[in-house]
Each structure stands twice: as C-alpha cells, then as structure tokens.
Amino acid sequence: MLLQRILTAAVGIPITVYIIQFGGWLFASAIIALALAAWREYGLMLRKQNIEIGMLGGAASTLLLLLSGWCGNSEEIIMAIWIVLLWTLLRTLRIWQNNNHSFVPAAFSLFGVIYIGFSFMHLILLREVSTMVITQTHFANMSLGTVYLWVAFLATWASDTFAYFVGTALGRHKLAPNISPHKSVEGFVGGVIGAVLAVLVFGHFTAIPIVHRIATGMLVGLVSPIGDLAESALKRFCCVKDSGSLLPGHGGVLDRFDSILFSVPVIYYYVRLIILQ
C-alpha cells in the first residue's frame, strides 16, 4: 500500500507540475478528464445505496461548465450556467418521476453537478485568470492565475499534512466525530497554520504581498477541511472506504481532490474580487 502511494506520487507529481505550468488546452483537457472520472465515481458510489442519478446528463452538464470555463468569457460562463441549471432541473424532474416521486435521486443529481461540475470549472477559471499579467518568480515567469493555483494546491496539501501530524500528536477534541472520527480540533488548527506557512514560503519566491499570503493561506486552511468532511460524509453514506481506485494507493479522483474542490473556488473569487480590483 505504501509502495503504491509512493509510486503513484512519484509519477503523478511531475506530470501535475508540467500540466499546470503548460496550461491551455492540456490543462483544460486534464481537468475535463478528471471531472468526468469524478462524476463516474460519484454515480457508482450512490448505486451502492440503490440511488440512480442521470449519469449521461450529469456528465454532459459537467462538460458544458468546464468548456465554458475554458472560454473564459463571463457572458459565455453565465449562459452555460443557466443552460446547465435548466437542463439539470429538467433531468431532476425526470428522475423524480421515474423514482416514484422520490426526491433523493433528484437531489443527489443536482448536488453532483454543483459539487463536481461547478467546482472543477473553477480550476480552469483560476488557471486562466489574467493570462497577460505576468508575475516574476524565482522559478519562471507565471501568469497571476498560475501563481494562485499553486497557492491553492500547496496550501491545501500543507493543510492536510499539518492537520494529520498535529492531530496525531496532540489531538484530543473531536472535530466531527459522526463524519470523520479521527479528525480533531487541534489538527484543524494545525492545518490552518500549515497552510499559512506554506503560502508564506511560496510567496517569498513569487513576490506575493504578505497580506495576500496570510489571507489566502488562512482561507484555504479554513475551507479545505470542509471539502474533506463533505467527501467523508458522502463515503460514509454510501458505505465505501474510497471513492474509486483510479489512483493506486490513493483511492479515486474525489479522494485526492476533495479539499481542492472547496479551496480553488475561494481563491478564485479572492483573486477576482480583491487582488484584481
């Protein structure tokens, strides 16, 4: 198990770095593939509780959201969101009718499009932010969106790591015992501190102002555990250990991106509403 985790990380980390730095069609294609894989995992998990959602309709809605995010035009994004909402509403009503007027499959279908499609769309939106704004770094010239995408990833990974070690060493008070018994308040605090430290270090090499380093680090540290708990609640409901097995030793796409899916939208809106104003 440990060897599988190490091998997957050894292969996956360089590929991830290259794809993020390359951006463009390659990054968008990778995110689309991951989002569709996540949607499949979501549907298969729910089947274990005999809940059938609109797999093809949800995948189509997710794809439309991601393609609109890649276009990057606010009018196109708004139009895509309205189309997806209308399509999802119609599919939800159809699922509701086909399940003896049960709201459970319909609700999970609607939630899935928001949880997966809308969240993954923000990965593309953030990567494409201000492609003409170049930030001088010690590594390479990067767009503003690339820098803050790395902020989201690094802060999330640091938050998870610090939360684990601090929680293991000092954890006494349960954070959400009914959802994830091993998570503690002490680990949560350690995760916030770890996220801030990670952005402080990264920001030193990418000329991020100190105020934004602290703010984004704290935001990720506070939000990323919510994503982790949300996926834990979903897996507990479906009685599964992992969302899938696409990534050997790490589980599925949702297992690896649960926290990122909550962190990236927050960072995106921070960049758009605070930094670029």
| 101 or 172, greater pLDDT | 172
What local confidence, expressed as pLDDT, does residue 28 receive?
93
| 4 or 264, greater pLDDT | 264
- Judge whether residue 55 has pLDDT over 90: no
Residue 92 · residue 101 · CB < 8 Å: no
Q: 111-161: per-residue pLDDT in tens?
A: 898 899 989 999 999 998 875 455 555 556 788 899 999 999 999 999 999
| 197 or 177, greater pLDDT | 197
Overall number of domains in the chain: 2
Task: Examine the fold and report which residue of 84, 105, 128 is the final residue of a domain before the chain moves on.
Answer: 128
Locate 257 and state its tokens: 């991106």
Cα(251)–Cα(255) distance, integer angstroms: 6
Task: Examine the fold and report which residue of 128, 144, 167 is the final residue of a domain before the chain moves on.
Answer: 128
Please report which confidence band the pLDDT of residue 63 belongs to, taking 50, 70 and 90 as the band edges: confident
Q: Are residues 183 and 51 in the same domain?
A: no
Q: Are residues 277 and 158 in the same domain?
A: yes
Please report which confidence band the pLDDT of residue 34 belongs to, taking 50, 70 and 90 as the band edges: very high
Please report, for residues 30, 46, 50, 119, 181, the alpha-carbon distance to residue 143 in angstroms, rounded to integers and kept in the order given.
19, 39, 45, 21, 40
- Judge whether residue 69 has pLDDT over 90: no
Q: Are residues 240 and 119 in the same domain?
A: no
- Mean pLDDT of the region 82-93: 65
Task: Examine the fold and report which residue of 108, 128, 148 is the final residue of a domain before the chain moves on.
Answer: 128
Q: Are residues 39 and 102 in the same domain?
A: yes
Q: Are residues 263 and 162 in the same domain?
A: yes
DSSP-based three-state secondary structure for 174: strand
Cα(116)–Cα(39) distance, integer angstroms: 7
As a whole number, the mean pLDDT across the chain is 85
Q: Are residues 151 and 242 in the same domain?
A: yes
- Mean pLDDT of the region 222-240: 93
Locate 226 and state its tokens: 């919510």
Q: Alpha-carbon dihedral of residues 249, 254, 95, 87, nearest 10 degrees? A: -140
Q: Are residues 108 and 180 in the same domain?
A: no
Q: Are residues 51 and 112 in the same domain?
A: yes
Contacts 24+ apart (CB under 8 A), 101-108: 104/51, 105/46, 105/51, 105/52, 105/53, 108/46, 108/51, 108/53
Cα(13)–Cα(249) distance, integer angstroms: 14
- Mean pLDDT of the region 29-49: 94
Q: Are residues 114 and 165 in the same domain?
A: no
| Sign of CA pseudo-dihedral 137, 28, 222, 216 | positive
Please report which confidence band the pLDDT of residue 223 belongs to, taking 50, 70 and 90 as the band edges: very high
Q: Are residues 34 and 161 in the same domain?
A: no
Q: Are residues 72 and 155 in the same domain?
A: no
Question: What is the extent of the structural domain holding 95?
Answer: 1-128
Among the listed ranges 75-79, 192-196, 251-255, which one has the minimum average pLDDT value?
Answer: 75-79
Is the whole-model pTM more than 0.75? Answer: yes
What local confidence, expressed as pLDDT, does residue 32 receive?
95
Q: Are residues 50 and 148 in the same domain?
A: no
What local confidence, expressed as pLDDT, does residue 137 receive?
56
- Judge whether residue 274 has pLDDT over 60: yes
